[in-house]
A and B are shown apart, each in its own frame.
Chain A
């Protein structure tokens, strides 16, 4: 029996599909329902409390029923021996295009970029393909939950918070409308990998680029002003008053009321200052994302309790920046007291989320802080910390069982549960691997 096959077989409750055979919807569970699952003798890392040696965790009806050192296994439970293994909450990638993209160069599968600058009414979850091959590839590395959204324009649309399992987009959604995504304009020239609504070609002069930046910054600000006016008028309107409904403006109402978080994709300190000013005017609930120059404003962000989704750390700093800036920025922020989470800003390799965090740990981020940033912090940013992000009784059973620290590339996932469902650890990649590993040797 091959290694990968063995790993699958170890999931006691999994129904194994034939490798290379008919492939049912890949992000959907292929499990039978057991009453309860118990993982015993494992090192349990709840994240929100101290790690438990030789601990037990009980999953039932999609929830965590009990976790601790002295928990008795219910008699009806399927038991997994966790000796030598570690149990973590599923990780959350706070910035992806999962479900909205399949093969980058094939336009038919791409729903990541809408026409126009203002698309607040576009809801990413609408277009999430639950059967994307990228989804199982991501979750088998322990990423169980993701923010997914379109990009581009100035207001890109509404991000969804999804669990990486489900028959329909609605099944997957933890929060269908988790946040508004704003691509804050910048002058450009910030190097690769940053966010920031860059524009302009090489032909533009500095003055032209500045003028364009001003124009776009004003356009964004006046859009928020329009939204505020729209919301005010609507609040005052009586039932009899005739009013034209504007879908985009309707979508902005929870934003302008400070109910829906706004993810601002930014790179530079200048952009962050711009976001803060905008937030002050319109009383926005701000989450910064990307933000590799956020270290310059760490104290401000801590004081104002503005959370930052950092990353990808796997991006090259600007030409004038210290060589380790993208790696070191998360540590500086966390030490200043800023709440951070991680994003890959990717889809195909969202699975590398924990390795993004590892690079930050290598350059100064505390390892426990990194683990919180990979789990509970993102849940807090989007108002779902009562449901996911840690191993606590009553929470949704998004649980990953590994051979070691998930940030260690050498660790592998042995069991995976989303909403208490045991999921097979196979995906497009393991199937191809098994198929060609079995190819008879050729002399050639």
Chain B
């Protein structure tokens, strides 16, 4: 369709402006411009967001304050912060600023999601299949999301390696990766791994495992193999160091699958485990304990509220849906109070999307933790910012508005949990990646049609 290309092309000619201020958009000139030409304005070295209500998450809310951004990092934040000379000023009057939203469970930008042929595929990597032009990314920016945990699917007991990304939509694909984020891996338990709801075609064989016991066995087998593999390498390293010249030992065969699992054993790779039922959560905790690693986050974890103490004691996070339930048997005991109840029991909880649709309105999803179970506003906000950042091991960098952290910010038209909440502007590393004022909105599309085809064509009249 031409229209959206025109809208995006038109946006290319407009400079970044303050959110919410009326601004004349120039008429489109190039109707052939492809979607990827959507411009991302370069970062200003010095940016100040002034007069905004700042929900820092870590240190309370500043009713009227200023955030100064220098070279992509937050340089100052507070009520009495002066705007440095030469700063690009974003007028935040009447606006609310929150840390950029972190979605701990996403499949956006992934061209493929499941390597579902075997139940253990620790060797495959999501970073190899990312597309920077995936539209889901743009829509997530428009919902204030700045960081995603792009996970392998849940077809396998041990799935592929996840990619933590910043939503730098429109820049080359390798710009997506969150530099310095610890690596991770997807595990999965329950119905999907057992292929419970899968229609088996005639002649097709069932894949092992078909029971939750089988899932445990596979995990233990995989980590036993990983331990042996690690011992082989340790022995080799010892032999190599003590070997005489010309008598170097032969190294063990490199196994990409076991390499990833050894990293898990050594605490260098975070485990994000898809789970539903309380029993399988306890099983996973026991396996992790026996092999000496920590599960960084249980994903979905819909029955987490039943074993919240155990999850908290193991130091694992829980990343759940706000209110999804009843779509399958293992989601039958899901309750929307899950997030608030786990938080009450000391678990660090995040609300995730697992969906390009929900990801666009995670702020609304987070507020449900207040509605069901009475989480505080701060706790609810943490569930889409600081807690998911902690679960991904990037909380030193993002998740709150503090000096020294990355300037990843979402600017709302009002309180983010209010019914009329809307994202006006989204910044990553101080760079404006979304600005509603220049974005291809429906309103703007209608304006374009009006300009080009006359007012009667905006909404055509069918007699």
Contacts and interface: CB of A to CB of B under 8 A. Distances in A.
Interface of A: 3, 102-106, 133-134, 192-193, 273, 276, 295-300, 303, 314-317, 319-325, 328-329, 332, 336, 347-349, 351-352, 355, 358-359, 361-364, 367, 405, 407-412, 428-430, 432-433, 436-437, 439, 441-444
A320 B341 contact: no
B367 A325 contact: no
A358 B440 CA distance: 21
Nearest to B346: A441
Given A359-B361, A409-B367, A429-B337, A3 B440 contact: no
A315 B357 contact: yes
A185 B358 CA distance: 27
A439 B310 CA distance: 12
A409 B138 contact: no
A102 B335 CA distance: 15
Interface in B234-251: none
A352 B446 contact: no
Interface in B328-371: 328-329, 331-333, 335-337, 341, 344-345, 356-358, 360-361, 364, 367-368, 370-371
A106 B142 CA distance: 36
A336 B443 contact: no
Contacts of B191: 105
B460 interface: yes
B309 A444 contact: yes
Nearest to A352: B323
B414 to A, nearest CB: 9
B323 A314 contact: no
A319 B135 contact: yes
Nearest to A102: B326
Given A105-B328, A408-B419, A429-B337, 13 more contacts: A3-B374, A102-B326, A273-B462, A297-B460, A358-B364, A408-B417, A409-B370, A409-B371, A409-B419, A433-B372, A436-B306, A439-B306, A442-B310
A349 B324 contact: yes
A329 B135 CA distance: 19
Nearest to A333: B459
Interface stretch (B1-9, B53-61, B64-72, B384-392): B1-9
Given A103-B328, A336-B459, A410-B367, A324 B142 contact: yes
Nearest to A104: B327
Contacts of B197: 105
A408 B462 CA distance: 37
Contacts of B370: 409-410
B371 A410 contact: yes
Contacts of A316: 136, 139, 356-357, 360
Interface of B: 1, 3-4, 7, 135-136, 138-139, 142, 191, 196-197, 305-306, 308-310, 313, 323-329, 331-333, 335-337, 341, 344-345, 356-358, 360-361, 364, 367-368, 370-374, 413, 417-422, 439-446, 459-462
A362 B420 contact: yes
Contacts of A437: 341, 344
Contacts of B308: 436
Contacts of B329: 103, 105-106
A408 B418 contact: yes
A1 to B, nearest CB: 13
B326 A103 contact: yes
Nearest to A406: B419
Contacts of A430: 337
Contacts of A361: 419-420
Contacts of B418: 408
A441 B368 CA distance: 25
Contact of A409 (B327, B417, B439, B460): B417
A153 B372 CA distance: 37
A430 to B, nearest CB: 8
A367 B306 contact: no
A281 to B, nearest CB: 14
Given A359-B361, A367-B420, A433 B305 contact: yes
Contact of A314 (B7, B357, B420, B461): B357
16 contacts: A103-B332, A296-B459, A300-B459, A314-B358, A319-B135, A323-B138, A323-B440, A348-B325, A348-B327, A367-B420, A410-B367, A429-B336, A436-B305, A439-B306, A443-B313, A444-B310
A295 B367 contact: no
Instruction: Identify which of A106, A362, A364, A428 gathers the most chain B CB atoms within 10 Å of its CB.
Output: A362
Nearest 7 CB-CB pairings of A with B: A409-B367, A105-B328, A320-B1, A358-B419, A348-B326, A328-B442, A407-B419
B325 A295 contact: no
B326 A134 contact: yes
Contact of A433 (B3, B341, B360, B444): B341
- Most A CB within 10 A of own CB, among B1, B371, B421: B371
Contact of B443 (A134, A300, A328, A407): A328
B442 A324 contact: yes
A332 B446 contact: yes
A347 B326 CA distance: 9
B462 A300 contact: yes
B336 A295 contact: no
Nearest to A3: B374
Nearest to B355: A316
Nearest to A313: B361
A441 B441 contact: no
Contacts of B421: 362
A119 to B, nearest CB: 24
A250 B199 CA distance: 38
A432 to B, nearest CB: 5
Contacts of A332: 442, 446, 459
Given A364-B443, A410-B371, A193 B4 contact: no
B341 A436 contact: yes
A25 B406 CA distance: 53
Contacts of B337: 429-430, 432-433
Contacts of B440: 322-323
A3 B344 CA distance: 13
A303 B462 CA distance: 10
